[in-house]
Amino acid sequence: MKISKGNNFVLGMIIILIFSAFILTKEEKLKFEIPKGWPKPNYDLKTNPLTQEGFELGRELFYDPILSSDSSISCSSCHLSYTSFAHTDHRLSHGINGLIGTRNSPALINLAWNTSFMWDGGVNNLESQPINPITSKIEMNSSLTDVVKKLNASAKYRKLFFTAFKDSVVNTQKLFRAMALFTGNLISCNSKYDSVMRKEKNVQFTSAEAKGYILFKKNCSSCHTEPLFTNGLFENNGLGMDTALKDLGRMRITSLSKDSLKFKVPTLRNIEFSFPYMHDGRFKRLSEVLKHYTTGVQKSKTLSPILDKPIVLTSDERVDLMAFLLTLSDKAFIYNANYAFPKNNNK
Amino acid sequence: MTQLKLYFIFILFTVLSSRAQKNVGTLIINIHPVFDGKELVLSENAYVNANGDSIYIDTFKFYFSNLCLSGTKPFCEKESYHLIDAENISTLSFTLKDIPIANYSELSFEIGVDSLKNTKGVLTGDLDPIKGMYWAWNTGYIAAKLEGHSKVCKTLHNAFEFHIGGYLQPYRSLRKNKISVGNLQISSTAVNTLELYADAAEWFKTPEKIDVSKINSIVLPNKQSVMMADNYKDMIKFKK
């Protein structure tokens, strides 16, 4: 085989083209930045690289009731951006035809760092999570086959999938990777707490907040570990089983009695907005939560050992701890225009 | 630039030479669903299980994965996940490619899906969750499904239902096994085939004899699912 000078030229051009394409795409990329001092995210961003188009598609899907069998329920029906993607006012979330579920929809914050999903941790990957509400008879009551069929029949979505993945044929992988690009990028790292930790100019804890932070580290942080404010583990926090729901939590997944009544430790970020609290939404106010941890913990075999001795807080200390918890509110997250209902929804 | 040129020549040479030599062959694997060696006809034919009960089988599906042939030149299929469905004839035959020309005596395989693939999010092909062999609420593949009915089952529609899955200890469903395949010769010219039985009767036999009047619903990872996986572990047999 001979290589002529002409071939050399072609080869050179190809290499230049490859490099220029790389530079061009690099400029367009949305960036996923790990906030300073945070651990590495758990979600594998290499297999599903972040792009503006992928994120926008995921956002479109998140707000579109097309995912439910009668096009009445979207993800945002139970996960509202203005409440940190929780379902305010509803202890238990309601789905299709007004049916009521058995758990309180959690806030969607910093999900790329989650090691598991759902209150019982039954789901192990951000991509697989939405399969649950979509196929649940009491949430969206649809099937993967139906959803994929509906999306493939939609000119709008075929176009959006082509823009995001260079292929207009919708399959489950593209669908859930797009959704993961949206949900995995709902990042809250701009609360007052964060500013104080970053030692930003003119931002300091008030004396109540500072005292509250010390109390927090002493009493709460072994489970609600900074900076994510959860250790990602499962604990029985002494709530006592609701006799109507009879929810065994983690044990439903593992079938192990040692996991009875354990639920995933939720993040405390944006706790101000994500009421009601606990897996069954039994507490409406933060003050009730503090009351539970100080005087309401019920003993049982699987109770978290840390809660064996009651937490003792004076009424002043409660006020201080509350003041600290409110520093975890991130208004920039709540009002982030990129997270809200897409404006050009009818294209 | 010279180095790059040499690299391309090398690649071209490798591709050409491998084609010229044709030192690999293919193998068509055909799966025959049976019950105790008799052809399995879903829903229509009754079979007698190890406990002596007359039963009908309505669904028989499983993942047949990580196939390897051992012999003089060991071979393992890459991304080896085959969803076998007794109802869907197109799943009962598939082809292994690029097997080195050699003699093989043993086939090793897994029934189910390895834990790695259970944590990788949403996958495609036979591992696409749309195939219905996937639990959403407790992430993971269903390794094998056997559904049927029998008069002895005092259940709705006399149905029994075994959905066996779970990738975490202590209730792991994945089962490895190996079987002799006689003297399997892979050549580059002939159509090489391997005929295997998938015997649903094994679900009811050993080590635990299953009485469907008592055990008729296993739908999550637990002690019973582990027992069932141990039972069906040897359902793949070499058809001599």
Query: Could you read off the pLDDT of A170-186 as tens digits, one per residue?
Result: 999 999 999 999 999 99
pLDDT digits (tens, 9 = 90+) for A199-221: 999 999 999 999 999 999 999 99
pLDDT at residue B120, rounded to an integer: 94
Does residue A223 sit in the same domain as residue A161?
Answer: no
* H-assigned helices in chain B: 2-21, 115-118, 223-232
In a domain, A139, yes or no: yes
pLDDT at residue B4, rounded to an integer: 58
φ, ψ of residue B192 in degrees (nearest 5): -90, 130
In a domain, A208, yes or no: yes
Which amino acid is present at A148? Answer: V
Chain A interface test: which of B122, B123, B169 (most A C-beta within 10 Å) = B122
Assign residue A146 the CATH number of its domain. Answer: 1.10.760.10
Searching chain A, which residue's CA lies closest to the CA of residue B2? A8
pLDDT at residue B18, rounded to an integer: 52
pLDDT digits (tens, 9 = 90+) for A46-60: 899 999 999 999 999
Using 50 as the pLDDT threshold, list the residues of chain B that sit under it: 1, 20
In a domain, A198, yes or no: yes
Cβ–Cβ contact A119 with B under 8 A: no
Cβ–Cβ contact A42 with B under 8 A: no
Searching chain B, which residue's CA lies closest to the CA of residue A3? B5
pLDDT at residue A8, rounded to an integer: 64
Taking the C-alpha atoms of residue B126 and residue A199, their distance in angstroms, rounded to an integer, is 51
In a domain, A76, yes or no: yes
Kindly compute the dihedral angle of the four CA atoms of residues B187, B188, B189, B195, in this order, to the nearest 10 degrees. 50
Chain B interface test: which of A9, A173, A174, A247 (most B C-beta within 10 Å) = A173
Q: Which domain holds residue B218?
A: 2-238
Whether this model's ipTM surpasses 0.95 comes out as no
Contact A125 B138 (CB under 8 A): no
In a domain, A297, yes or no: yes
Contact B5 A11 (CB under 8 A): yes
Does residue A171 sit in the same domain as residue A117?
Answer: yes
Which residue in B124, B139, B168 is closest to A128 by CB distance?
Answer: B139
Does residue A178 sit in the same domain as residue A233?
Answer: no
In a domain, A108, yes or no: yes
Q: In 3D, which of B59, B53, B43, B45 has the Cα closest to residue B91?
A: B59
Report the gap between the CA of B103 and the closest CA in chain A (Å). 37
Does residue A98 sit in the same domain as residue A143?
Answer: yes
pLDDT at residue A329, rounded to an integer: 97
Cβ–Cβ contact B89 with A under 8 A: no
Report the gap between the CA of B222 and the closest CA in chain A (Å). 6
From residue A273, give the alpha-carbon distance in Å to each of A107, A237, A326, A334. 9, 21, 10, 9
Number of domains in chain A: 2
Does residue A203 sit in the same domain as residue A285?
Answer: yes
Which residue in B128, B134, B137 is closest to A122 by CB distance?
Answer: B137
Cβ–Cβ contact B15 with A under 8 A: no
Does residue A135 sit in the same domain as residue A210?
Answer: no
Contact A148 B4 (CB under 8 A): no
Does residue A178 sit in the same domain as residue A208?
Answer: no
Contact B121 A180 (CB under 8 A): yes
B171 contact residues in A (CB cutoff 8 A): 255
Burial A10-41 (b: 16+ CB within 10 A, else e): eeeeeeeeeeeeeeeeeeeeeebeeeeeeeeb
Q: Which domain holds residue A281?
A: 192-329
Does residue A156 sit in the same domain as residue A56?
Answer: yes
Cβ–Cβ contact B138 with A under 8 A: yes
Strand blocks (E) in B127-174: 134-135, 140-149, 159-165
User: Facing residues of B85 across strands?
Assistant: B61
Report the gap between the CA of A254 and the closest CA in chain B (Å). 8
pLDDT at residue A23, rounded to an integer: 47
Does residue A129 sit in the same domain as residue A226?
Answer: no
Cβ–Cβ contact A180 with B under 8 A: yes
Residues 49-68 of A with CB under 8 A from B: none
Cβ–Cβ contact A131 with B under 8 A: yes
Report the gap between the CA of B231 and the closest CA in chain A (Å). 21
Does residue A180 sit in the same domain as residue A77?
Answer: yes
Number of domains in chain B: 1
Report the gap between the CA of A128 and the closest CA in chain B (Å). 5
Contact A254 B168 (CB under 8 A): yes
Domain boundary residue, one of A188, A208, A234: A188
pLDDT at residue B10, rounded to an integer: 58
Does residue A244 sit in the same domain as residue A163?
Answer: no
Cβ–Cβ contact A8 with B under 8 A: yes
In a domain, A334, yes or no: no
Searching chain A, which residue's CA lies closest to the CA of residue B168? A254
**Residue A108 tokens, joined:** 């969607």
From residue B101, give the alpha-carbon distance in Å to each of A76, B26, B152. 57, 9, 51
Does residue A184 sit in the same domain as residue A207?
Answer: no
Q: How many CA atoms lie within 13 A of A184 on its CB side?
A: 34
pLDDT tens digit at each of 347 positions of chain A: 444 555 666 666 566 555 555 444 444 457 888 999 999 999 988 899 999 999 999 999 999 999 999 999 999 999 999 888 988 777 887 888 788 888 899 999 999 999 999 999 999 999 999 999 999 998 999 999 999 999 999 999 999 999 999 999 999 999 999 999 999 999 999 999 999 999 999 999 999 999 999 999 999 999 999 999 999 999 999 998 888 889 999 999 998 999 999 999 999 999 999 999 999 999 999 999 999 999 999 999 999 999 998 899 999 999 999 999 999 999 999 999 999 999 765 44
Searching chain B, which residue's CA lies closest to the CA of residue A12? B1
Cβ–Cβ contact A30 with B under 8 A: no
From residue B70, give the alpha-carbon distance in Å to each of A41, A301, B67, B118, B227. 40, 51, 10, 26, 29
Cβ–Cβ contact A12 with B under 8 A: yes
Strands B192-199 and B24-35 turn out to be parallel
In a domain, A35, yes or no: no
